[in-house]
Every structure is written in C-alpha cells, then in structure tokens.
Amino acid sequence: MSSEAPSKVPRHIAVIMDGNGRWAKERGWPRIKGHEAGAESVKAVMKASRDAGVEIVTLYAFSVENWSRPEAEVSGLMNLLPRMLSKHENILHENETRLRAIGRLDQLPAKTRKELDRVMAATEKYTTRQLVLALSYGGRAELTDAVKAIAGKVQAGELKPDEISDQTLSDHLYAPDLPDPDLMIRTSGENRLSNFLLWQLSYAEFYFTPEFWPDFREESLHQAIAEYQRRQRRYGGVKSC
C-alpha cells in the first residue's frame, strides 16, 4: 500500500529518463544494454505510480536531437521499442492503462510505428490511467508545429490574430487534452529540461536525482512524490495563512 496522501499526489508526472548509456558504460557494456535495463525501470515506475494514485506518466523516450546519435544506437532503440511494447502490453491491460505517444511520430521507422499504433489502439478504451511516450519529441518542435497550425487557421480566415491566447496555443499542442504535469523528475544528476515539455512544465515542481534511470525503481518514485508533497505550489500567487 502507498503511504502518500491522496489529496497531495501529483496527477501527472513527467520523467526525463537519463543515464542509461552511462550506467552501461560503468559496467563495460554497450549503451543499448543500458536502454534495455531502463525498460525495467519503466515497469517499476508504472507499478509505483499506480499504487500511489498517479493518473498520467509521460516519459521522454526519444528526442528529436537523439536522431543524431550513432546509427547503431538509434537502430537499437527503434528495434527495442516494439519489442518492449509487445513484451509488456499485458501490463498495460492489467492496470487498465492507455498508451499514447506525442512527437513527430511520422519520423519513426515503419515497423516501430506499426507496433506503437497497434498497442495504442488496443488500450485506447482505458480512461483511468495513461502512459504517454514522447518519441521523436522536442519542446521547440511542438511549439513550432502548434504555431504553424495556428498560422494556417489565420491564413484561412478561421481565426483572427487578436483571438489568439495562451489557450489557443495549448489547444494546438500534440496532446491538448492532457493536464500539465505537476511533477517533473530527471535522473542521472543533470539539472536541465533538455527541450522537454517547455510549455507544459511552466508551473511543475522539479525533482532531480543522481540515480541513473536503470537504478530508479519503486522506492525512488515514492521518494520523489514525498518531496513533492513537502512543497507549496503558489502558481505566482501568495499562499493564504
């Protein structure tokens, strides 16, 4: 059983899963072994988030910048994703979790996209919990795509410039129905966003840990939530006494 107070549990947690390569390097293994180990941490975090009452988990799985990595590593990651989806699809069903994806998904290899689409379709009926994979994703790319879509509506006469608001931009993001994350977790000791959910993380609480992602398991997530619960969220205002 989770010890978190339900009223203080973040509804949406976003995670930058960092350190897979360094974890593998420390052991003298190929980087892909770190990514494979990281997949086990995804399982652990999904279980822990379910037990804690978290509704949505968004994972930064592959950035637009990651395409510039060595071809062997990129190929390994694109082959790993459909294998992991097939292997762990039963966990999504057991936990009634809907799988979604955000990013420039058209850039993914056909085999990867096919399996991703299949599992998303197979789980789209679930409404209690969601697992969102950010794939070929970049915060700047998302904002650029949103602005292009808005500009197209202005050009077509469907929208007036003076009607554009913060909500207009939010409505044109990759998953406009998702609430903004309450908590952002980054592993491996790096203290930056790395182009992740730049619009959505405006008022999120940030939690940085030196643990590499393959070492981040259930207790790690509970510690992050406990730290979140100790903070006061003011959203630019002043907390009343």
Q: Is 95 a catalytic residue?
A: no
Q: How far apart are CA 204 and CA 118, in angstroms?
A: 32
Q: Is 66 a catalytic residue?
A: yes
Can you state the angle between helices 31-52 and 71-94, rounded to 10 degrees? Answer: 20
Active-site residue (options: 66, 79, 95, 195): 66
Strand partners, 135: 62
Q: How far apart are CA 9 and CA 67, in angstroms?
A: 35
Amino acid identity at 178:
L
Q: How far apart are CA 180 and CA 170, in angstroms?
A: 10
Amino acid identity at 125:
K
Q: How far apart are CA 141 and CA 194, in angstroms?
A: 12
The 3-state secondary structure of 140-170, one letter per residue:
HHHHHHHHHHHHHHHHCCCCCHHHCCHHHHH
Q: How far apart are CA 94 and CA 129, in angstroms?
A: 11
* Cα dihedral 181/184/185/189 (nearest 10): 160
**How many other C-beta atoms are found inside a 10 Å radius of the C-beta of residue 26?**
11
Q: Which of the residues are catalytic?
A: 18, 66
